[in-house]
Structure 1
Amino acid sequence: MEHIDDRSAPPGDAGAAGAASPVEAARSCLTSSAVCLMSPASVREQLGADEDGWARFAAHWDELGEDRYAAERGTRRLRRYGRFSLTPATGELVRLPHEPFIQPTDTNPLYETVDRHFEPLTDAFVADPLLRPLFDLLGQAAAVLDDAGRWIVKVHPFRVVATADDEGDPTPEGRHKDGVTLVSSLLVNRDNAVGGQSSVYTHDGRELLSTTLHRPGSLLLSDDRDSLHCVSPIRPMDMTQPAYRDVLVTTLTAA
Structure 2
Amino acid sequence: MYNLETTLDGTKIANNGETILRVNVPHLDISELKDSFYFVPNDNYFTAGSRYRTTSRIRITECGYELLPRVPLYQPSYVNKLGSYGGIDRDYADVPKSLLKTRSFDIMIKEWLASIPYVVESFSIHQIRTTDNGNPTPEGAHRDGTDWTGVYIVNRHNIADTSGATRYWDVKGDLVLDHVFPEGVLINHYDRYFTHCATPIVKVDPDEPSYRDVFVITSPEHGVNRQQETYRREVLTAEA
Q: What range is the shorter-chain TM-score in?
A: 0.7 to 0.9
- Distance in 2 separating the partners of 1:199 and 1:57: 24
| SS of residue in 2 equivalent to 1:130 | helix
The reply to whether residue 169 of structure 1 matches residue 135 of structure 2 is: yes
Percent identity over paired residues:
23
Higher relative contact order structure (alpha carbons within 8 Å, sequence separation ≥ 6): 1
Choose from 216, 231, 243 the match for 2:210: 243
- 1:140-155 residue pairs with structure 2 within 5 A? 140-143=114-117, 147-148=118-119, 150-155=120-125
CA shift at 1:224, angstroms? 0.7
TM, length-normalised to structure 1: 0.75
Question: What is the aligned partner in structure 2 of residue 66 from structure 1?
Answer: 42
CA shift at 1:105, angstroms? 5.3
The reply to whether residue 29 of structure 1 matches residue 1 of structure 2 is: no
- Distance in 2 separating the partners of 1:54 and 1:133: 10
CA shift at 1:107, angstroms? 1.5
Question: What is the aligned partner in structure 1 of residue 165 from structure 2?
Answer: 197
- Distance in 2 separating the partners of 1:136 and 1:59: 20
Question: What is the aligned partner in structure 1 of residue 228 from structure 2?
Answer: none
Question: What is the aligned partner in structure 1 of residue 200 from structure 2?
Answer: 233
Give CA deviations for 1:16-50 in whole Å, capped at 9, x if unaligned: 235xxx3xx66x63545732221x3xx11xxxx2x
- Distance in 2 separating the partners of 1:75 and 1:61: 18
CA shift at 1:109, angstroms? 1.4
Say what the alpha-carbon RMSD is for the aligned residues: 2.4
| SS of residue in 2 equivalent to 1:34 | strand
CA shift at 1:123, angstroms? 1.5
Choose from 33, 36, 40 the match for 1:57: 33
1:160 maps to a residue whose letter is T
Question: What is the aligned partner in structure 1 of residue 152 from structure 2?
Answer: 186
TM, length-normalised to structure 2: 0.79
The reply to whether residue 99 of structure 1 matches residue 71 of structure 2 is: yes
Point out the structure with the larger helix share: 1
Choose from 111, 126, 129 the match for 1:156: 126
- Distance in 2 separating the partners of 1:79 and 1:151: 23
Give CA deviations for 1:170-205 in whole Å, capped at 9, x if unaligned: 111001111111111111111110210111112332
| SS of residue in 2 equivalent to 1:131 | helix
User: CA separation of 1:175/1:238 partners in 2, compared to 1, >3 Å: closer, same or farther?
Assistant: same
User: CA separation of 1:92/1:244 partners in 2, compared to 1, >3 Å: closer, same or farther?
Assistant: closer
Q: Which segments of 5 or more consecutive residues in structure 1 lack a partner in the other structure?
A: 1-12
Query: Alignment length, in residue pairs?
Result: 213
User: CA separation of 1:69/1:17 partners in 2, compared to 1, >3 Å: closer, same or farther?
Assistant: same
CA shift at 1:91, angstroms? 8.6
Tell me, yes or no, if the aligned pair for 1:139 and 1:252 is still in contact at 8 Å: no
User: CA separation of 1:140/1:37 partners in 2, compared to 1, >3 Å: closer, same or farther?
Assistant: closer
- Distance in 2 separating the partners of 1:141 and 1:238: 38
Q: Which segments of 5 or more consecutive residues in structure 2 lack a partner in the other structure?
A: 225-240
Tell me, yes or no, if the aligned pair for 1:102 and 1:116 is still in contact at 8 Å: yes
Tell me, yes or no, if the aligned pair for 1:151 and 1:252 is still in contact at 8 Å: no
Tell me, yes or no, if the aligned pair for 2:112 and 2:186 is still in contact at 8 Å: no
- Distance in 1 separating the partners of 2:122 and 2:145: 12
